[in-house]
A and B are shown apart, each in its own frame.
Chain A
Amino acid sequence: VTLSPSSPAQPDAGADISLLNALAYVAERSLFAFCDPASRETLAAQADAHRAEAGGPATWLHASIHFHGCREGRMELALPASLARGLCLAFSGEDDPAAITDDALRDFAGEVANMTCGLWLTRRSRREPFDLMPPQVMVWPGDASLERLNAPAQAAEVVIATINDAAIWLRTEWLDGAVAPRSVHAHAIRS
Protein backbone atom coordinates (compact mmCIF):
# COMPACT_ATOMS: atom_id res chain seq x y z
CA VAL A 1 0.00 0.00 0.00
CA THR A 2 1.51 3.29 -1.03
CA LEU A 3 0.15 6.72 -0.43
CA SER A 4 1.24 9.70 -2.42
CA PRO A 5 3.71 11.98 -0.69
CA SER A 6 1.08 14.66 -0.48
CA SER A 7 -1.29 12.51 1.52
CA PRO A 8 0.58 10.86 4.36
CA ALA A 9 -1.43 8.51 6.49
CA GLN A 10 -2.64 10.08 9.67
CA PRO A 11 -2.05 8.19 12.90
CA ASP A 12 -5.04 6.41 14.38
CA ALA A 13 -7.01 8.63 16.70
CA GLY A 14 -5.74 8.25 20.23
CA ALA A 15 -2.84 6.06 19.15
CA ASP A 16 0.30 6.13 21.24
CA ILE A 17 2.79 7.14 18.56
CA SER A 18 5.61 8.18 20.84
CA LEU A 19 8.90 6.67 19.77
CA LEU A 20 10.07 6.74 23.37
CA ASN A 21 7.06 4.74 24.50
CA ALA A 22 7.67 2.18 21.76
CA LEU A 23 11.25 1.77 22.94
CA ALA A 24 10.13 1.55 26.57
CA TYR A 25 7.61 -1.16 25.69
CA VAL A 26 10.26 -3.20 23.88
CA ALA A 27 12.67 -2.74 26.78
CA GLU A 28 10.21 -3.83 29.42
CA ARG A 29 8.48 -6.58 27.47
CA SER A 30 11.40 -8.32 25.80
CA LEU A 31 14.57 -7.06 27.42
CA PHE A 32 13.35 -7.02 31.03
CA ALA A 33 14.85 -3.55 31.44
CA PHE A 34 13.68 -0.11 32.44
CA CYS A 35 13.68 2.78 29.99
CA ASP A 36 13.53 6.44 31.01
CA PRO A 37 13.77 9.72 29.12
CA ALA A 38 17.15 11.42 29.21
CA SER A 39 18.90 14.45 27.80
CA ARG A 40 21.81 15.24 25.52
CA GLU A 41 23.67 16.31 28.66
CA THR A 42 23.26 12.83 30.14
CA LEU A 43 24.56 11.30 26.94
CA ALA A 44 27.57 13.61 26.86
CA ALA A 45 28.32 13.12 30.56
CA GLN A 46 28.30 9.33 30.20
CA ALA A 47 30.61 9.57 27.18
CA ASP A 48 33.01 11.78 29.16
CA ALA A 49 32.92 9.45 32.15
CA HIS A 50 33.73 6.44 30.00
CA ARG A 51 36.59 8.27 28.31
CA ALA A 52 38.03 9.24 31.70
CA GLU A 53 37.77 5.71 33.05
CA ALA A 54 38.78 3.71 30.01
CA GLY A 55 41.09 6.19 28.30
CA GLY A 56 39.02 6.27 25.14
CA PRO A 57 35.52 6.38 23.75
CA ALA A 58 33.13 3.51 24.32
CA THR A 59 32.19 1.23 21.45
CA TRP A 60 28.67 1.81 20.16
CA LEU A 61 26.39 -0.20 17.92
CA HIS A 62 24.45 1.76 15.34
CA ALA A 63 21.42 0.05 13.73
CA SER A 64 19.64 1.65 10.80
CA ILE A 65 16.39 0.28 9.43
CA HIS A 66 14.59 1.41 6.30
CA PHE A 67 10.80 1.06 6.11
CA HIS A 68 8.13 1.69 3.56
CA GLY A 69 4.40 1.28 3.38
CA CYS A 70 2.07 4.10 4.22
CA ARG A 71 5.22 6.19 4.71
CA GLU A 72 8.80 5.71 3.67
CA GLY A 73 11.54 6.47 6.13
CA ARG A 74 14.37 5.32 8.28
CA MET A 75 14.89 4.75 11.97
CA GLU A 76 18.31 4.74 13.58
CA LEU A 77 19.10 3.36 17.01
CA ALA A 78 22.46 3.63 18.74
CA LEU A 79 23.49 2.06 22.02
CA PRO A 80 26.76 1.25 23.81
CA ALA A 81 28.06 -2.25 23.11
CA SER A 82 28.37 -2.89 26.84
CA LEU A 83 24.66 -2.19 27.31
CA ALA A 84 23.77 -4.27 24.26
CA ARG A 85 25.70 -7.23 25.68
CA GLY A 86 23.79 -7.15 28.97
CA LEU A 87 20.45 -6.73 27.26
CA CYS A 88 21.23 -9.51 24.80
CA LEU A 89 21.89 -11.88 27.69
CA ALA A 90 18.52 -10.97 29.21
CA PHE A 91 16.72 -11.21 25.88
CA SER A 92 18.14 -14.54 24.80
CA GLY A 93 18.10 -16.14 28.24
CA GLU A 94 21.73 -17.01 27.76
CA ASP A 95 23.75 -17.55 30.94
CA ASP A 96 27.21 -17.45 29.47
CA PRO A 97 28.41 -13.98 28.35
CA ALA A 98 31.00 -15.68 26.14
CA ALA A 99 28.13 -17.07 24.07
CA ILE A 100 27.30 -13.55 22.89
CA THR A 101 29.65 -13.19 19.95
CA ASP A 102 30.19 -9.95 18.06
CA ASP A 103 27.91 -11.24 15.32
CA ALA A 104 25.23 -12.07 17.87
CA LEU A 105 25.56 -8.60 19.35
CA ARG A 106 25.08 -6.95 15.96
CA ASP A 107 22.13 -9.22 15.24
CA PHE A 108 20.62 -8.30 18.59
CA ALA A 109 21.02 -4.55 18.01
CA GLY A 110 19.30 -4.97 14.66
CA GLU A 111 16.45 -6.89 16.26
CA VAL A 112 15.91 -4.19 18.90
CA ALA A 113 15.70 -1.62 16.10
CA ASN A 114 13.37 -3.93 14.18
CA MET A 115 11.01 -4.43 17.12
CA THR A 116 10.99 -0.76 18.10
CA CYS A 117 10.42 0.45 14.55
CA GLY A 118 7.73 -2.15 13.85
CA LEU A 119 5.88 -1.38 17.06
CA TRP A 120 6.10 2.35 16.42
CA LEU A 121 4.75 1.94 12.87
CA THR A 122 1.98 -0.41 14.00
CA ARG A 123 0.89 2.07 16.65
CA ARG A 124 0.89 4.88 14.11
CA SER A 125 -1.72 3.06 12.06
CA ARG A 126 -3.10 -0.45 12.40
CA ARG A 127 -4.79 -0.04 9.03
CA GLU A 128 -1.60 0.13 6.99
CA PRO A 129 0.90 -2.71 6.54
CA PHE A 130 4.57 -1.91 6.12
CA ASP A 131 7.78 -3.55 5.05
CA LEU A 132 10.94 -3.38 7.11
CA MET A 133 14.22 -3.87 5.34
CA PRO A 134 16.91 -5.92 7.11
CA PRO A 135 18.67 -3.69 9.66
CA GLN A 136 22.14 -2.44 8.83
CA VAL A 137 24.32 -2.55 11.94
CA MET A 138 27.70 -0.87 12.31
CA VAL A 139 30.19 -0.62 15.14
CA TRP A 140 31.26 2.92 15.92
CA PRO A 141 33.34 4.63 18.57
CA GLY A 142 31.17 6.68 20.89
CA ASP A 143 32.46 9.93 19.45
CA ALA A 144 31.22 9.01 15.99
CA SER A 145 27.84 8.09 17.41
CA LEU A 146 27.49 11.45 19.13
CA GLU A 147 28.61 13.25 15.98
CA ARG A 148 25.96 11.35 14.03
CA LEU A 149 23.33 12.35 16.54
CA ASN A 150 24.34 15.99 16.40
CA ALA A 151 24.75 16.16 12.62
CA PRO A 152 22.20 18.27 10.77
CA ALA A 153 19.58 15.95 9.31
CA GLN A 154 15.98 15.93 8.26
CA ALA A 155 15.08 14.15 11.46
CA ALA A 156 11.39 13.87 12.22
CA GLU A 157 12.06 12.93 15.81
CA VAL A 158 15.01 12.36 18.09
CA VAL A 159 14.72 10.49 21.36
CA ILE A 160 17.41 10.19 24.00
CA ALA A 161 16.73 7.73 26.78
CA THR A 162 18.42 5.52 29.30
CA ILE A 163 17.96 1.78 29.54
CA ASN A 164 19.18 0.43 32.85
CA ASP A 165 20.78 3.85 33.36
CA ALA A 166 22.91 3.73 30.19
CA ALA A 167 22.14 6.37 27.57
CA ILE A 168 21.01 5.45 24.07
CA TRP A 169 19.46 7.42 21.21
CA LEU A 170 17.00 6.94 18.37
CA ARG A 171 16.14 9.04 15.39
CA THR A 172 13.49 8.79 12.71
CA GLU A 173 13.57 10.40 9.31
CA TRP A 174 10.94 10.56 6.56
CA LEU A 175 12.29 9.83 3.09
CA ASP A 176 9.13 10.30 1.04
CA GLY A 177 9.04 14.08 1.10
CA ALA A 178 5.69 14.19 2.83
CA VAL A 179 5.12 16.52 5.71
CA ALA A 180 5.01 14.50 8.89
CA PRO A 181 1.94 14.97 11.06
CA ARG A 182 3.26 17.01 13.92
CA SER A 183 2.45 16.00 17.42
CA VAL A 184 4.01 16.74 20.75
CA HIS A 185 5.43 13.77 22.60
CA ALA A 186 5.93 14.20 26.29
CA HIS A 187 9.55 13.22 26.47
CA ALA A 188 10.68 13.34 22.89
CA ILE A 189 13.39 15.82 22.02
CA ARG A 190 12.99 17.14 18.52
CA SER A 191 15.99 18.29 16.59
Chain B
Amino acid sequence: MSTTTSRASGRKALRLLVVDDSATMRRVIVRAARLTRVPIETVFEAGNGRHALDILAREPVDAVITDVNMPEMGGIELLRQIAARPDLDHVLRIVVSTDGSECRRSEAAQFNVQLYLEKPFRPEAIRDALAELAGAA
Protein backbone atom coordinates (compact mmCIF):
# COMPACT_ATOMS: atom_id res chain seq x y z
CA MET B 1 0.00 0.00 0.00
CA SER B 2 1.11 3.55 -0.55
CA THR B 3 3.01 5.67 1.91
CA THR B 4 2.96 9.42 1.66
CA THR B 5 4.93 12.02 3.56
CA SER B 6 4.04 15.63 4.11
CA ARG B 7 6.18 18.56 5.14
CA ALA B 8 7.12 18.56 8.78
CA SER B 9 6.29 21.60 10.87
CA GLY B 10 7.38 22.84 14.24
CA ARG B 11 4.71 20.77 15.95
CA LYS B 12 5.16 17.05 16.42
CA ALA B 13 3.86 15.49 13.26
CA LEU B 14 1.62 12.43 13.34
CA ARG B 15 2.40 9.12 11.75
CA LEU B 16 -0.98 7.77 10.76
CA LEU B 17 -2.08 4.27 9.78
CA VAL B 18 -5.38 3.99 7.85
CA VAL B 19 -6.85 0.48 7.62
CA ASP B 20 -9.77 -0.22 5.30
CA ASP B 21 -10.33 -2.78 2.55
CA SER B 22 -11.70 -0.05 0.28
CA ALA B 23 -8.98 1.99 -1.41
CA THR B 24 -11.55 4.72 -2.07
CA MET B 25 -12.47 4.91 1.60
CA ARG B 26 -8.80 5.07 2.59
CA ARG B 27 -8.35 7.97 0.21
CA VAL B 28 -11.33 9.78 1.73
CA ILE B 29 -10.04 9.26 5.26
CA VAL B 30 -6.55 10.44 4.36
CA ARG B 31 -7.91 13.54 2.68
CA ALA B 32 -10.09 14.28 5.69
CA ALA B 33 -7.18 13.75 8.07
CA ARG B 34 -5.09 16.22 6.11
CA LEU B 35 -7.77 18.89 6.67
CA THR B 36 -6.77 19.10 10.29
CA ARG B 37 -4.18 21.56 11.55
CA VAL B 38 -2.37 18.71 13.20
CA PRO B 39 0.66 18.14 10.97
CA ILE B 40 0.83 14.69 9.46
CA GLU B 41 4.28 13.38 8.75
CA THR B 42 3.44 10.08 7.15
CA VAL B 43 0.35 8.10 6.20
CA PHE B 44 0.54 4.34 5.95
CA GLU B 45 -2.31 2.40 4.36
CA ALA B 46 -3.37 -1.20 4.87
CA GLY B 47 -6.21 -3.21 3.34
CA ASN B 48 -6.76 -5.44 6.37
CA GLY B 49 -5.68 -6.02 9.96
CA ARG B 50 -2.88 -8.42 9.09
CA HIS B 51 -1.22 -5.95 6.79
CA ALA B 52 -1.67 -3.26 9.43
CA LEU B 53 0.17 -5.41 11.98
CA ASP B 54 3.02 -5.87 9.49
CA ILE B 55 3.34 -2.10 9.25
CA LEU B 56 3.13 -1.67 13.03
CA ALA B 57 5.93 -4.20 13.43
CA ARG B 58 8.37 -2.10 11.45
CA GLU B 59 7.16 1.49 11.61
CA PRO B 60 6.45 3.83 14.52
CA VAL B 61 2.80 4.92 14.33
CA ASP B 62 0.96 7.50 16.45
CA ALA B 63 -2.65 6.88 15.40
CA VAL B 64 -4.64 4.08 13.79
CA ILE B 65 -7.93 4.66 11.99
CA THR B 66 -9.50 1.30 11.22
CA ASP B 67 -12.56 -0.26 9.66
CA VAL B 68 -14.15 -3.29 11.34
CA ASN B 69 -15.32 -5.63 8.58
CA MET B 70 -12.32 -6.57 6.45
CA PRO B 71 -11.06 -9.77 4.83
CA GLU B 72 -8.28 -11.86 6.41
CA MET B 73 -8.23 -9.91 9.66
CA GLY B 74 -10.91 -7.49 10.80
CA GLY B 75 -10.56 -4.34 12.86
CA ILE B 76 -11.57 -5.84 16.18
CA GLU B 77 -8.84 -8.48 16.01
CA LEU B 78 -6.38 -5.79 14.97
CA LEU B 79 -7.35 -3.72 18.02
CA ARG B 80 -7.05 -6.79 20.23
CA GLN B 81 -3.50 -7.37 19.05
CA ILE B 82 -2.55 -3.71 19.43
CA ALA B 83 -3.91 -3.75 22.98
CA ALA B 84 -1.81 -6.80 23.75
CA ARG B 85 1.40 -4.93 22.93
CA PRO B 86 2.53 -2.54 25.67
CA ASP B 87 4.85 -0.80 23.21
CA LEU B 88 1.75 0.40 21.34
CA ASP B 89 -0.03 1.83 24.39
CA HIS B 90 0.51 5.35 23.08
CA VAL B 91 -1.27 4.71 19.76
CA LEU B 92 -4.53 6.61 19.29
CA ARG B 93 -7.30 4.30 18.08
CA ILE B 94 -10.24 5.42 15.98
CA VAL B 95 -12.79 3.05 14.48
CA VAL B 96 -14.70 4.01 11.33
CA SER B 97 -17.31 1.39 10.55
CA THR B 98 -20.73 0.81 9.06
CA ASP B 99 -21.52 -1.37 12.07
CA GLY B 100 -22.94 0.99 14.66
CA SER B 101 -24.39 -1.68 16.94
CA GLU B 102 -23.97 -1.24 20.68
CA CYS B 103 -22.40 -4.67 20.88
CA ARG B 104 -19.67 -3.81 18.38
CA ARG B 105 -19.04 -0.49 20.06
CA SER B 106 -18.63 -2.22 23.42
CA GLU B 107 -16.30 -4.75 21.86
CA ALA B 108 -14.12 -1.98 20.45
CA ALA B 109 -14.19 -0.06 23.74
CA GLN B 110 -12.49 -3.00 25.48
CA PHE B 111 -9.40 -2.23 23.44
CA ASN B 112 -9.05 1.41 24.41
CA VAL B 113 -10.67 2.86 21.31
CA GLN B 114 -10.86 6.62 21.77
CA LEU B 115 -13.54 7.21 19.15
CA TYR B 116 -16.02 5.13 17.18
CA LEU B 117 -17.33 6.84 14.04
CA GLU B 118 -20.12 5.40 11.94
CA LYS B 119 -20.07 5.37 8.15
CA PRO B 120 -21.31 7.31 6.34
CA PHE B 121 -19.51 10.23 7.93
CA ARG B 122 -18.81 13.78 6.94
CA PRO B 123 -15.10 14.37 6.30
CA GLU B 124 -15.16 17.01 9.01
CA ALA B 125 -15.84 14.29 11.57
CA ILE B 126 -12.46 12.69 10.88
CA ARG B 127 -10.74 16.06 10.85
CA ASP B 128 -12.28 17.15 14.17
CA ALA B 129 -11.68 13.82 15.86
CA LEU B 130 -8.05 13.73 14.89
CA ALA B 131 -7.52 17.34 15.91
CA GLU B 132 -9.12 16.76 19.31
CA LEU B 133 -7.46 13.45 20.06
CA ALA B 134 -4.03 14.38 18.74
CA GLY B 135 -4.25 17.73 20.50
CA ALA B 136 -5.02 16.00 23.78
CA ALA B 137 -2.36 13.36 23.34
Contact = CB atoms under 8 A, between A and B. Distances in A.
A, B from the same assembly: yes
Q: Do most interface residues of chain A lie in helix, strand or loop, or is the interface mixed? A: helix
Nearest to B97: A118
B120 A25 contact: yes
Interface string A108-136: 10110011011101100111111111100
Interface in B11-42: 21-25, 27-28, 31
Interface residues of B, number: 26
A104 B25 CA distance: 10
B119 A119 contact: yes
Say which size band chain A's interface belongs to: 20 to 34
Interface stretch (A36-44, A85-93, A150-158): A85-93
A129 B103 CA distance: 6
Interface string A12-37: 00000000000001100110000000
Contacts of A184: none
Contact of B102 (A92, A111, A126): A126
B77 interface: no
B132 interface: no
A48 interface: no
A98 interface: no
Contacts of A122: 98-101, 118
Nearest to B76: A129
B70 to A, nearest CB: 8
A44 to B, nearest CB: 29
Interface in B71-100: 71, 97-100
Contacts of A108: 22, 24
Interface string B97-132: 111111110010000000000111111000000000
Residue from the set A1, A93, A110 with the largest chain B CB neighbour count within 10 Å: A93
A125 B100 CA distance: 9
A25 B99 CA distance: 15
Contact of B121 (A30, A104, A107, A110): A30
B21 to A, nearest CB: 6
A92 B101 contact: no
Contacts of A91: 24, 28
Contact of A128 (B31, B69, B101): B101
19 contacts: A26-B120, A29-B121, A93-B28, A94-B27, A107-B23, A107-B24, A108-B24, A111-B24, A114-B22, A114-B69, A115-B98, A118-B100, A118-B119, A119-B98, A119-B119, A122-B99, A122-B101, A128-B103, A130-B99
